[in-house]
Structure 1
Amino acid sequence: MEALSPSARRVQDLLDAAGLGHRVVEHAGSTRTSEDAAAAVGCAVAQIAKSLIFRAKESGRPVLVIASGANRVDEKAVGRLIGEKIERADPDFVRESTGYAIGGVSPIGHAVPPLVLIDADLMALDSLWAAAGTPNAVFRLTPADLVALTGGRVEAIRKG
């Protein structure tokens, strides 16, 4: 087995510490988009748990929304759920608050602990795939594992 890149290794170390047996897999091609990731691992786009970082407007806190790859996020609903409006985070904010680059943001191991909301649609699936620190690394987990690992609140955040 090839050595993992530093960001993917950081995620693997966190997964090892959780003791649930998850394995980070790095692919030769990109898993940056939900479609790319689904094609790389052979699953439905809906099974990709994409980690989206927003910035809470008043407090400046990072907000992690983990959404199904098939869904768009209702940003107004997220704002209502956390009690303040949110805005899209720029790449510098994403890197500083998570420690990851856009396209590789893992749902775990953030530099600044975020507020976490999880798309309720993910809970109906048997297994999920999430980014593991780089734009070509992912790991498989269950919806229950996702909640346990992130401490996130499951909410209806799908647009439409």
Structure 2
Amino acid sequence: MVNLTHPAVDRVREALQLHGLDPEIRWFDDAATTAVAAAAALGIPVGAIANSLVFTFTAPGQEPQPLLVLTSGAHRVDQAWLGTRLGGLVGRASKELVKEATGQVIGGVAPLGHPLPLRTVVDEALAEFPVVWAAAGHAHTVFPTSYRELLRITGGEPGAVSAPTPGV
């Protein structure tokens, strides 16, 4: 195993430690920017990958705010449905907004270690797996956790965010 360092990964490690956790952060030789790639590298089902996706959420009469959605790698977020569920509109975030809100780049966004707390929704489908894997701030990194830990360390709202992706 390669033991590397990166400022975003260091921030994730520090955030995990603040929550009393010290999981092994695994470094891949190649970037794992998709749930399929990460699952293949780990030899696990794609559904056990916790994708950290940043969207915008716009409540009526308000400015858009970043929204972090942690979804199972086997699902896609239904933006219209989720927006209705949350009482507003959910839209795609630009790569600039993702970087600004998380301090991390698309493909390596972790569920924590961001400059400021983000409103977070956690896909209840992740509860099906005793261990789930999330990016650790860089496209070459992941760490093991659980659905319950994701809820605790992010202050996330549990619930459905998507429907199963056909063929996965």
Structure 1 range deviating more: 130-139 or 111-120: 111-120
How many pairs were matched up?
160
Residue 157 of structure 1 and its aligned partner are, at CA, apart by 1.2
| Alignment partners' CA distance in 1, 2:82 and 2:100 | 22
Residue 122 of structure 1 and its aligned partner are, at CA, apart by 0.6
The residue aligned with 1:92 is 96
| Alignment partners' CA distance in 2, 1:23 and 1:17 | 15
Residue 8 of structure 1 and its aligned partner are, at CA, apart by 1.1
The residue aligned with 1:69 is 73
The root-mean-square deviation of aligned C-alpha atoms, in Å, is: 1.4
Residue 19 of structure 1 and its aligned partner are, at CA, apart by 1.5
| Alignment partners' CA distance in 1, 2:73 and 2:38 | 9
| Alignment partners' CA distance in 2, 1:77 and 1:110 | 26
Could you tell me which runs of 5 or more consecutive residues in structure 2 were left unpaired when the two chains were aligned: none
Residue 112 of structure 1 and its aligned partner are, at CA, apart by 3.4
- Give the aligned residue type for 1:89: A
- Give the aligned residue type for 2:135: A
TM-score under structure 1 normalisation?
A: 0.93
Residue 46 of structure 1 and its aligned partner are, at CA, apart by 0.3
The 8 Å contact of residues 106 and 132 in structure 1, kept in 2 or not, is answered as yes
Residue 27 of structure 1 and its aligned partner are, at CA, apart by 1.0
- Give the aligned residue type for 2:30: G
The residue aligned with 2:21 is 20
The 8 Å contact of residues 3 and 27 in structure 2, kept in 1 or not, is answered as no
Helix, strand or coil at the partner of 1:135: coil
Question: Is 1:109–2:110 an aligned residue pair?
Answer: no
The percent of aligned pairs where both chains have the same amino acid is: 36
Structure 1 range deviating more: 103-112 or 125-134: 103-112
| Alignment partners' CA distance in 1, 2:121 and 2:161 | 8
- Give the aligned residue type for 2:88: E
- Structure 1 consecutive aligned stretches of length 4 or more whose deviation exceeds 2 Å: none
Residue 10 of structure 1 and its aligned partner are, at CA, apart by 1.3
Helix, strand or coil at the partner of 2:149: helix
Helix, strand or coil at the partner of 2:23: coil
TM-score under structure 2 normalisation?
A: 0.89
Could you tell me which runs of 5 or more consecutive residues in structure 1 were left unpaired when the two chains were aligned: none
